[in-house]
Amino acid sequence: MTGAGGMVQDGAAAIEVKALHKSFGALEVLRGIDITVRRGEVVCVIGPSGSGKSTLLRCVNLLEEPTSGTVRVAGVEVTDPDVDIDRVRRRIGMVFQAFNLFPHLSALGNLTIAQRRVLGRSRPEAEEVARRNLRRVGLAEKEDSYPARLSGGQQQRVAIARALSMGPELMLFDEPTSALDPELVGDVLAVMRGLADEGMTMLVVTHEMSFAREVADRVIFMDGGAVVEEGPPEQVVTDPRHARTRAFLARVL
């Protein structure tokens, strides 16, 4: 459901995944996933390593091609062979465990390059957007710093600001704090919490159970390429129904 301007309306599905299967050769990694994320919702995906969480996120913006099933983003079926996937991808911000900043560009340069090349913004316009987003992640004073001079947590916040500078309608996060020293995790989670408070639609793969408990509207537990259970965090994280969820939480909590 899209409005006249192409924006998704409140309560409409921002992401709709149906019967999604993904195999790599003989390895069946996703075995029929059904997930809906509504506009403004924060959904956390938890589950053991190898359960297919990253593959699921990568199928949402077609970094991986699904073997079968459908994925809709903001009402557009991205699995339709005729879709302009670059246009859809521009509406999706993605943040990975590895920050993937350009080492030869300053923080400001990292935030302006795609705006200029992909969106065709002028330098002053791109810089204005970049500065606004560096402020948003608490790094206004670091615009001239190169990645090597920033801490891991600061680099990840630059990566988030870079994604935000493209004006995404939704954000995908794949374990954004897993590569960080423990003392740097909090600043990144605080930025993500702020985005959630602003109403950003977010699908977040994370092992940070306190973040899932406090920020998520819903938590999805995946194991073996399938959704085992999902529900509000106070149910899934605090009072899980399935033995597999309980066993996983016993290991990470």
Query: Of the ranges 4-12, 52-60, 84-92, 110-118, which one interacts with ligand ADP (CB under 6 A)?
Result: 52-60
Asked if 54 is part of the footprint of ligand ADP (rule: CB under 6 A), the reply reads yes
Asked if 52 is part of the footprint of ligand ADP (rule: CB under 6 A), the reply reads yes
Q: Per-residue x/- marks for Mg ion, 51-90, CB under 5 A?
A: --xx------------------------------------
Query: Of the ranges 34-42, 47-55, 82-90, 237-245, which one interacts with Mg ion (CB under 5 A)?
Result: 47-55
Q: Identify whether the C-beta of residue 180 lies closer than 8 Å to the C-beta of residue 192.
A: no
CB of residue 58 to Mg ion, shortest distance in Å: 9
Q: Closer CB to ligand ADP, residue 40 or residue 47?
A: 47
CB of residue 29 to ligand ADP, shortest distance in Å: 4
List 17, 40, 55, 173, residue binding ligand ADP (CB under 6 A)? 55
Q: Per-residue x/- marks for ligand ADP, 10-29, CB under 6 A?
A: --------------x--x-x
List 53, 89, 142, 218, residue binding ligand ADP (CB under 6 A)? 53
Q: Closer CB to Mg ion, residue 57 or residue 150?
A: 57
Q: Summarize as ranges the residues that interact with ligand ADP (CB under 6 A).
A: 24, 27, 29, 47, 49-55
